[in-house]
Amino acid sequence: MESEAVEKRLEVAEAVAREAGQLALGYFRRRADLAVGRKGLQDVVSEADGAVERLIRERLAERFPGDGFLGEETGASEGVGDGPVWVVDPIDGTQCFLAGIPSWCVSIGLAAGGRCRLGVIYDPCFDEIFVGGDGRSTTCNGVLVSPIDAASLEDGMIEVGFSHRVKGDWTAEVVRRVLSSGGMYHRGGTGALALAYVAAGRYIAYYEEHMNAWDSVAGIGLIEAAGGWAHDVLADDGLRRGAVVAACGARFAPTLRALVDLG
Ligand code: IPD
């Protein structure tokens, strides 16, 4: 996929993320009235997630009818393969969203040819938008950003994500290793936004044992466009099955890989 095609999609994705974010913010302000369901242990969903995803899916299909789509709420379009696929989480951090915690975002990524090509992550509560992709370095509200040039875990915080899709033992071991190496961990409840924070030099790194593609593709697009490193989340059918997510600045990559036994 040419950078021109990525650039065209970035412009549209930014406008769509802003529109979707405003819709989501409206729901956030009246969250007590929303119909809420449960997808699993500590895994909730509300009518807002579906409505915001439908808006994003419609807008992208109007502009790029030939592109595939994979969303957390509405699933995959026919023939999702090597061509461009939009990978979308309309509200990442749903548990925080429903609890009234301003730690959630709209996440729009694009995968093509086995790579994360672009990311747009919008945090409507703080009106921050992270945008980047092939041929365009990552920005936050229009200002260029880059990962921390960390040499060790002592240089800042690492976000360690967790969901009950996996057992907790390995994550607890990773947290133990972080602390015993003089590091500090954090869990903000929105993995997508945490990846944007890695791209923007707020966290040293992100690690999670299993994340779905809609939570990771946009953030990894941002990190790579900012010159950082990310474990390949699209290998081994990662688009459908999800993957280990590990990402950080380029210098810190060997330390992160060793910390989480990534070989
Ligand atoms: C979750 C969040 C969380 C991460 C989980 C995700 P959701 O997404 O990104 O931070 O640890 O793996 O499932 O359910 O809020 O869209």
- For residue 48, name the pLDDT band (cuts at 50, 70, 90): very high
- Any ligand 1 atom below 6 A from CB of 92: yes
92 CA closest ligand 1 atom index: 16
210 alpha carbon – ligand 1 mean position (Å)? 10
pTM of this prediction exceeds 0.85: yes
Q: Is the pLDDT of residue 1 over 90?
A: no
Pocket test for ligand 1, best of 186, 197, 211 (most atoms within 8 A of CB): 211
pLDDT tops 80 at residue 114: yes
Question: How large is the average pLDDT for residues 62-82?
Answer: 89
Task: Report pLDDT digits (tens) over 205-215.
Answer: 999 999 999 99
Provide, rounded to the nearest whole percent, the portion of the chain with pLDDT above 90.
Answer: 88
pLDDT the model gives residue 29: 97
Q: If you average pLDDT over every residue of the chain, what do you get?
A: 95
**What mean pLDDT comes out for the span 209-225?**
98
Q: Which of 38-42, 173-177, 187-191, 214-218 has the lowest mean pLDDT?
A: 38-42
Q: How far is the CA of 220 from the centre of ligand 1 (A)?
A: 15
Residue 75 pLDDT grade (very low, low, confident, very high; cuts 50, 70, 90): confident
Predicted pLDDT of residue 190: 98
Q: What's the pLDDT at 36?
A: 78
Predicted local distance difference test score (pLDDT) of residue 35: 82
pLDDT category at 195 given cuts 50, 70, 90 is very high
Averaged pLDDT for residues 28-36? 90
Identify the residue whose C-alpha is closest to ligand 1 atom 2.
190
> What pLDDT score does 80 carry?
79
93 lines ligand 1 (CB under 6 A): yes
CA dihedral 214, 219, 245, 77 (to 10 degrees): 20
Residue 46, pLDDT score? 85
CA of 190, closest atom in ligand 1 = 10
Q: What's the pLDDT at 64? A: 96
Q: Is 94's C-beta closer than 6 angstroms to any atom of ligand 1?
A: yes
Query: Given a cut of 80, is residue 199 above it in pLDDT?
Result: yes
86 pLDDT exceeds 80? yes
Give residue 92 CA to ligand 1 midpoint distance, Å: 6
Nearest atom in ligand 1 to 215's CA: 9
Distance from the alpha carbon of residue 2 to the mean position of ligand 1, in angstroms: 31
Q: Which atom of ligand 1 lies nearest, measured to the CA of 187?
A: 10
Q: What is the pLDDT of residue 139?
A: 98
| pLDDT of 256 higher than 80 | yes
| β-sheet bridge partners, residue 246 | 207
pLDDT at 225: 98
Give me the pLDDT at residue 197, please: 98
Protein residue with its CA nearest to atom 4 in ligand 1: 191
User: Ligand 1: distance of its center to the CA of 142 in Å?
Assistant: 26
**What is the atom index within ligand 1 of the atom nearest the CA of 91?**
16
Mean pLDDT of 124-151: 97
